[in-house]
Amino acid sequence: MTTPLNIPKSVTVKAGHVQPLWAGHPWVFRQALAGVDDGIMAGDEVIVLDPHGKILGRGLYSSSSAIAVRMFSLEGTVALDEAFIRAAIERAASLRRAHGLPNERPGEQTTGYRLVNGEGDGLPGLVVDVFGETLVVQLGTAGLKRLEGAIADALTEVMGPRAIIDRTSPQIAQLEGFTLGDAAVRMVRGEIPDALRFMERGFRFELPLELGQKTGYYFDQRPLRDRIEALSRGSRVLDACCYVGGISLAAKRGGAREVWGVDTSVPAIEVAKATAALNELEIHFEATDSARAFQKAAADGGWDVVICDPPKLARKRRHKQKAGGGYRKLAASAAAATAPGGILAFCSCSAAVTEELLQRHLALGARDAGRRAVIVDRCFQGPDHPVLAAFPEGLYLTVLLARIY
């Protein structure tokens, strides 16, 4: 075997950890490494070898993360250079176009969506969201930080944005060992806009830059917003953990006679109110926690459609047992808040919580409330959040739509 001259360093995987990587799983966990060449630094490109010296692929090395290597190719001679990055972004944009994004049809206009979904688009650790003429980028590894200029060049050439903003998590940067600027909004290209303006399914959004959840909006829940709109006619809808009110807007346009959106974030609720006004919809938004809202709804006899979309409760696999109690408690409160025969949308954005496990938490929670949950539909992240077939962790968003009796 000849190691490519431009990447002299390699890591070797232990026996018993090869099969997932051979099948295309993009993560090499540190515990799976049998050896690492001397001199490898955080962010270096490396070749991944099996115990017999056979090439499994090529990736970017992280020195302190539990994920030691994120693989971007199953070949050993394909470099992660500007040409590779541009080709990957072009494929990503083509995939979105094939699924109708962006969408210019009247009443369905959508100019906000995910353009690059990390591993699902062959660029592990990279997230790029489109907000109209502005792109928001998150760099998840030290290697991607080194390639920031090449990534910005490729995005500019393929998408032609007016601005590219970096919203990399400071926690990720610290873990990966690279530094970020002190500014709350870090520019990569262009001029800082005064807001993130975009359209989704015909709704207009103007989000202030200081609203710092993820890249600024949850594009992954678009399928649920569409589904709730279809289910809401004539109903009273409670949207818990509503953030800036995307689901609430959908419910009201779908013909809901009353919509109540709640969130603990006062800034998010203020934006939700402004967004409802911008779209000429009458919705009641309130800054309160979901537990109080569920309790009030239950005392009121229950609402016809209830959405329970909490923050991530199990960030890693080791947290899922502890998170189970939280999901079960939420399910009990949400089920009690749902009118008999009504719909509960029970959500999890934790990859560690499988559909089967979430279903169990829903069943037990409903039983705790003296109710019975019958699942009638399911939603997952939309097609702008593609998932490698060999990477089940990429399917992180699960929504169970259940009738509560």
pLDDT in tens, 88-124: 999 999 999 999 999 999 999 999 999 999 999 999 9
Contact yes or no for 342/404 (Cβ under 8 A): yes
Across residues 228-241, what is the average pLDDT?
Answer: 98
Retrieve residue 392's tokens. Answer: 């089940």
Active site residues: 349
Q: Which of 379, 380, 391, 385 is nearest to 101 (CA)?
A: 385
CA angle at residue 280 from 279 to 282, to 5 degrees?
115
Q: Any residues with CB less than 8 A from the CB of 50 and at least 6 apart, and which?
A: 12, 13, 18, 22, 56
- How high does pLDDT run on average in the chain? 94
Percent residues over pLDDT 90 in the chain: 88
Length of the chain: 405
With the C-alpha atoms ordered 17, 20, 22, 27, is the resulting torsion angle positive or negative? Answer: negative
The pLDDT of residue 321: 61
Strand 55-61 to 27-29 pairing: unpaired
Contact yes or no for 379/399 (Cβ under 8 A): yes
The pLDDT of residue 2: 41
In the predicted structure, residue 229 carries a pLDDT above the cut 60: yes
pLDDT in tens, 309-326: 998 765 555 555 655 688
Interhelix angle 290-299/320-336, nearest 10 degrees:
30
Contact yes or no for 10/52 (Cβ under 8 A): no
CA angle at residue 386 from 381 to 391, to 5 degrees?
100
d(CA 194, CA 196): 7
Residue for token digits 């025969």?
Answer: 341
The distance of Cα 277 from the centroid of its chain, to the nearest Å, equals 27
Contact yes or no for 45/62 (Cβ under 8 A): no
Q: Which of 351, 362, 360 is nearest to 315 (CA)?
A: 351
pLDDT in tens, 58-94: 999 999 999 999 999 999 899 999 999 999 999 999 9
d(CA 360, CA 402): 13
d(CA 205, CA 202): 10
How deeply is 238 buried, as exposed, middle or buried, from its count of CB atoms within 10 A (0-12, 13-18, 19+)? buried
Retrieve residue 130's tokens. Answer: 């489109």
Across residues 236-245, what is the average pLDDT?
Answer: 97
